[in-house]
Structure 1
Amino acid sequence: MANIKYIQLREHILDYIRKKPQLFYRIMLFKPRYREILITEKTEIVIEGYPRCANTYAVAALWITQDRKLSVARHTHAIAQIIRAYEKQLPTLLLIRNPEDAIISYVIREKNVDISLAINRYIDFYRVAHSLAEGFVISDFDHTITQYHSLLENLNTRYGLSLNVKRLNKTDLIKIQELVEDMERKSAGGLLSELKVSRPSKQRDMIKHKLREKLQSYPRMGEAVTLYRMLKEKSL
């Protein structure tokens, strides 16, 4: 019980920090794994979204399609990061996904995150994102996966960039998947779990089925769905 309370307290403290840009950057810059994913003076593009919204795929696809490895601020899933991106007027790709799929996938991936916390994080993140949406290119999950060239075109148009625009072929997709798994492996400390990797998994599908009906009993899901629909209207 004491361990559960400690985890809950830690997660709530982290949520508070993630909402405050000055505090977030001051603290996270001391964490080695965050130094290459936070916004800095070298950042060329920001790719952010709630967890399980094709974040890793979007970053991997960008690196595979370009002539060099761009400096990308990414994978913090923090409100502070999108606020700073907006304030600095940085080229930003905001990733969205319907809350049912995103939340279930997130809960399966992170053992310390329960459904209630996952829903609250979804709402908190996208409520702020919606208020700043005019500054971002917004892409839904399916569009990110199937129409990546369209994202590149829109980033170029919106921000005056010169990204290579390329329709992904089979070779590109293989390279992207390999890079996704390499990034997941690095994040997990060398191990690649079927519950964490961003590709189809029978084990994960079985757990999803059990969680889907349970999710509908949470009253705040309606708020999450409303936010998603509003952002969907602004997406590509």
Structure 2
Amino acid sequence: MQNPINLVMQLPRRALFSYRSIVSQEPACWFLYQPYIWHGQRKLKAAGVSPQERIVSSATQLVIDGFPGSANSFAALAFKRSQKQYINLAHHLHSPSQILQAIEREIPVLLTIREPVGAILSIASRRPYITATQGLHTYIGFYSKLKPYSSHYVISTFEQSTQHLDRMIARVNTVFNTNFDLVDIAKANADRQTKKAQRDSEKLAIRESIREEKRQEFTLEKNAQLLIQAKALYQAYEELAHQRQ
């Protein structure tokens, strides 16, 4: 059982997460989402990375994005490292409205997706204030918003993103008539394992503990219908992904 004080302290963060989820999904709320874009750009600039990677613009050549915890980091980094020349890539937007802007501008989009429990546990282990209920509502809203536009992006499941990203980039090239360099998936996974081995074992243990605690929330009755809906949505995307291989 959570400490009541910790629970109260988490409430503002939970509210902000729900707020961000709502404004990120609606193009009409673009101006309300703008501060989050600026925040992401400042973080990139501080890290020596182009701020343009956090926004879709006329200069964007490719978007790799999806719900958090869907191998977005792996896919974006592996893609960037595999290109012989600089590609203006937008990633980690976590915003359906940004993806819709890319579609409107006819910019290629690789949409990442992971089964809902795995994706939500991934983000909740890093942000423990997020509840399973919040995660499910956000997941459903995210992919429901984009589903009508499925012919305008390439879908990449978690397995495809982490094991067959080379094929997915080849698929992007075919669908959008682009010429991106293919990803060396063996090297990308080797780099990931090296990075994983260098992580703080204590922090990893804490995250795993949080993950297991959060997993129990999915068994609550209030989440039953949400989980069914989220899984059905994922299955629909998964079927589309495999149909288009």
TM-score, L = length of structure 2: 0.79
Aligned-partner Cα distance in 1 for 2:182–2:32 = 34
Instruction: State the 1:127 CA deviation.
Output: 0.5
Is the 8 Å Cα contact of residues 94 and 139 (structure 1) preserved in structure 2? Answer: yes
Provide the residue aligned with 1:46 in structure 2.
63
CA distance in structure 2 between the partners assigned to 1:195 and 1:159 by the alignment: 44
> Conserved in 2, the CA contact under 8 Å of 1:24 and 1:80?
no
Deviation at 1:27, TM superposition (A): 3.8
Among 8, 11, 34, the alignment partner of 2:17 is 11
**1:202 Cα deviation (Å)?**
5.0
* 2:215 corresponds to: 212
The one-character-per-residue Cα deviations of 1:175-229 (angstroms, maximum 9, x if unpaired) are 4567x78xxxxxxxxxx76698xxxx55544443343343132121111001000
State whether residues 103 and 118 of structure 1, in contact with CA within 8 Å, keep that contact through their aligned partners in structure 2.
yes
Aligned AA for 2:228? Answer: G
Residue number in structure 2 paired with 1:145: 162
Whole-Å Cα distance in 1 between the matches of residues 103 and 124 of structure 2?
A: 28
Structure 2 counterpart of 1:230, from 236, 239, 243: 236
TM-score by length of 1: 0.81
In the other structure, the counterpart of 1:101 is: 118
- The answer to whether the Cα contact below 8 Å between 1:92 and 1:137 also exists between their aligned partners in 2 is yes
C-alpha deviations, 1:133-174, integer Å up to 9, x for none? 11010011011111111011101000001112254334x434
RMSD (CA atoms): 2.6
Aligned to 1:91: 108
Identical residues among aligned pairs (%):
22
Point out where structure 1 has 5 or more consecutive residues left out of the alignment: 182-191
Distance 2:232 2:168 in 1: 24
For 2:14 and 2:205, the matched residues in 1 are separated by 29
| Offset of residue 19 of structure 1 | 2.1
Q: How far apart, CA to CA, are the structure 2 residues paired with 1:195 and 1:92?
A: 37
Q: Which moved more, 1:225-234 or 1:81-90?
A: 81-90
| Structure-2 change in CA distance of 1:29 and 1:229 (3 Å) | closer
- Structure 1, 137-146 or 3-12: larger mean CA deviation: 3-12
The amino acid across from 1:23 in the alignment is F
What CA deviation, in whole Å up to 9, does each residue of 1:45-91 have, x standing for no partner?
00111111000000011012110231111102112112112211210
Is residue 23 of structure 1 aligned with residue 39 of structure 2? Answer: no
User: Which of 51, 60, 74 is the equivalent residue of 1:57?
Assistant: 74
Q: Deviations over 1:23-43 (max 9, x none)?
A: 256444543237431101211
The structure where helix makes up a greater share of residues is 2
Q: Match for 1:173: what amino acid?
A: N
**Post-superposition offset of 1:93:** 0.3
C-alpha distance in 2 between matches for 1:117 and 1:86: 27
